[in-house]
């Protein structure tokens, strides 16, 4: 008896969580689907592992059937008509399967006649999973660590500054004329605050490029990555972003340049309120420097056939589409597009937190279509502008024996820097 009451109370609590997510867009998405099936083949997971649960509509229907059960008359009078779902252990498992097999790439949204956003619908699934304490714990832990770092940043600043000083040599190898320090830190009134990731690979090349451009910049104390956004924990995601917002305001910067990380960029650029400073992707910054003649790149250094992978969060979800291509054309003599590309590009299969969660077997199986696309390009170098995509493409390259080289756009640009006249 106690168990029944507890199950009912849990369902009621989850229902309340669900209701909180019912904004106008969500209601429109939940009410509009005609189940035409046009999204079925949009998902890279379905294209690689053809199962209904891996279709956009299949995933959204799990949430929609719960919606019908609790928020529509049909759920009360004729639940069988819509095959509605109760909130219980079984439906929570289905929610997990739906939410964490979806990378949130929104390719299905491009193909849907109504433009239904499966990623937004999956945010309900993720919120319910958190409510049911069934969310991926690794993502929770990483998000909590980011927040904790924000709370104790003052204690670690000195060590961080010392570590950055150790990067001077690496930056000078790429741009010998770099000022001292080569990686400026905590400089009020800098024009640009560069937000990197953990690891020097996300700092050195960017520092060389900004130094070559004579930019007034400094490095953020924080990592750009927002694990809470992957997790679907909106309050935590906001707190993680707020650390950077506060820092940018404290240093009175004009622009926040986000490292090659699609989700971090989209979150800061499009998912929080405007904050009085611009937010740009690092690929956009390189493109601007080239356009303004502040840096020059040597095209002769990269003679191999190069192709570009559009990171979903950067390209179709944020509009950074042509800038990376202009940079690539400036540094590679043999650039060829993959098919499909731009808004239609296949997701790498590592988004939505899957890379951080591990999940290697699923990632490799579910991205076979991506590996096929990479192979078909005939390129020997695949370039991208997102850390997640880079990790996933590297894993695919190894798993499927593609024999390609996976590169960051910023790394290629830094290596191709030439001194101005």
Considering the complex, state which of residue 40 and residue 212 has its C-beta at the smaller distance from another protein: 40
CB of 225 to another protein, least distance (A): 18
Q: Of the listed pieces 76-84, 199-207, 252-260, 402-410, which binds another protein according to CB under 8 A?
A: 76-84
With binding defined as CB under 8 A, does residue 345 bind another protein? Answer: no
Q: Give the span between the Cα atoms of 159 and 200, in whole angstroms.
A: 15
Please state the φ and ψ torsions of residue 159, each to the nearest 5 degrees: -65, -40
Minimum gap (Å) between residue 255 Cβ and another protein = 13
Nearer to another protein, 8 or 83 (CB): 83
> Does 17 sit near another protein (CB under 8 A)?
no
13, 165, 272, 301: residue in contact with another protein (rule CB under 8 A): 272
Judged by beta carbon, residue 251 or residue 271, the one nearer another protein is 271
Alpha-carbon distance of 268 to 241, in angstroms, equals 7
- Dist. CA 341–CA 152, nearest whole Å: 42
User: In the window 110-149, what residues touch another protein (CB under 8 A)?
Assistant: 110-117, 120
Nearer Cβ to another protein, position 38 or 167? Answer: 38
Q: Does 34 bind another protein (CB under 8 A)?
A: yes
Give the nearer residue to another protein in terms of CB position, either 190 or 317.
317
Which member of 6, 32, 166, 339 binds another protein (CB under 8 A)?
A: 32
CB of 342 to another protein, least distance (A): 7
- Which is nearest to 30 in space by CA: 120, 137, 134? 120
**Nearest residue to 92 (alpha-carbon basis) of 68, 127, 48:** 127
Q: Which tokens is 102 given?
A: 């979806």
Which residue stretch of 24-32, 379-387, 404-412, 413-421 sits at the interface with another protein (rule: CB under 8 A)?
Answer: 24-32
Q: How far apart are CA 208 and CA 172, in angstroms?
A: 7
Q: Which is nearer to another protein, 27 or 398 (CB)?
A: 27
Exposure on the CB side of residue 134, measured as CA atoms within 13 A? 20
35 forms part of the interface with another protein (CB under 8 A): yes
Contact footprint for another protein (CB under 8 A):
22-29, 31-38, 40-41, 52, 55, 57-58, 61, 72-74, 80-83, 106, 109-117, 120, 234, 270-272, 274, 315-319, 321, 342-343
């Amino acid at each position: 008896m106690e168990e029944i009451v507890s199950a009912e109370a849990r369902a009621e609590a989850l229902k309340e969580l669900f209701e909180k997510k019912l904004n106008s867009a969500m209601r429109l998405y939940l009410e509009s689907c005609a189940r035409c099936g046009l999204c079925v083949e949009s998902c890279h997971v379905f294209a690689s592992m053809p199962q209904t649960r891996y279709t956009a509509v299949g995933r959204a229907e799990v949430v929609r059937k719960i919606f019908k059960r609790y928020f529509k008359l049909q759920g009360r009078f004729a639940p069988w008509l819509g095959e509605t779902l109760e909130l219980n252990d079984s439906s929570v498992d289905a929610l997990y399967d739906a939410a964490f097999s979806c990378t949130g790439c929104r390719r299905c949204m491009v193909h849907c006649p109504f433009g239904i956003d499966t990623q937004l619908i999956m945010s309900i699934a993720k919120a319910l999973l958190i409510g049911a304490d069934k969310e991926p714990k690794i993502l929770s832990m990483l998000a909590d660590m980011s927040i904790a770092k924000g709370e104790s940043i003052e204690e670690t600043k000195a060590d961080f500054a010392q570590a950055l000083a150790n990067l001077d040599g690496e930056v000078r190898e790429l741009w010998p004329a770099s000022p001292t320090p080569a990686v400026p830190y905590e400089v009020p009134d800098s024009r640009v605050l560069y937000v990197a990731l953990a690891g020097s690979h996300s700092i050195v090349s960017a520092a060389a490029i900004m130094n070559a451009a004579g930019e007034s910049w400094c490095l953020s104390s924080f990592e750009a990555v927002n694990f809470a956004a992957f997790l679907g924990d909106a309050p935590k995601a906001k707190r993680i972003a707020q650390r950077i917002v506060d820092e940018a305001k404290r240093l009175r910067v004009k622009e926040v340049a986000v490292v090659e990380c699609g989700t971090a960029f989209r979150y800061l650029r499009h998912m929080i309120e405007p904050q009085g400073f611009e937010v740009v992707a690092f690929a956009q910054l390189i493109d601007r420097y080239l356009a303004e003649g502040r840096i020059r790149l040597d095209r002769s250094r990269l003679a191999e056939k190069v192709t570009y992978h559009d990171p979903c969060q950067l390209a179709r979800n944020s509009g950074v589409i042509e800038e990376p291509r202009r940079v690539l054309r400036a540094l590679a003599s043999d650039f060829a597009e993959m098919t499909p590309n731009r808004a239609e590009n296949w997701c790498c299969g590592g988004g939505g937190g899957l890379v951080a969660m591990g999940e290697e077997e699923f990632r490799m199986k579910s991205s076979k279509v991506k590996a096929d696309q990479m192979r078909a390009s005939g390129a020997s170098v695949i370039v991208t502008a997102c850390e997640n995509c880079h990790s996933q493409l590297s894993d695919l390259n190894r798993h499927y024996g593609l024999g390609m080289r996976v590169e960051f756009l910023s790394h290629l640009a830094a290596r191709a820097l030439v001194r101005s006249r």
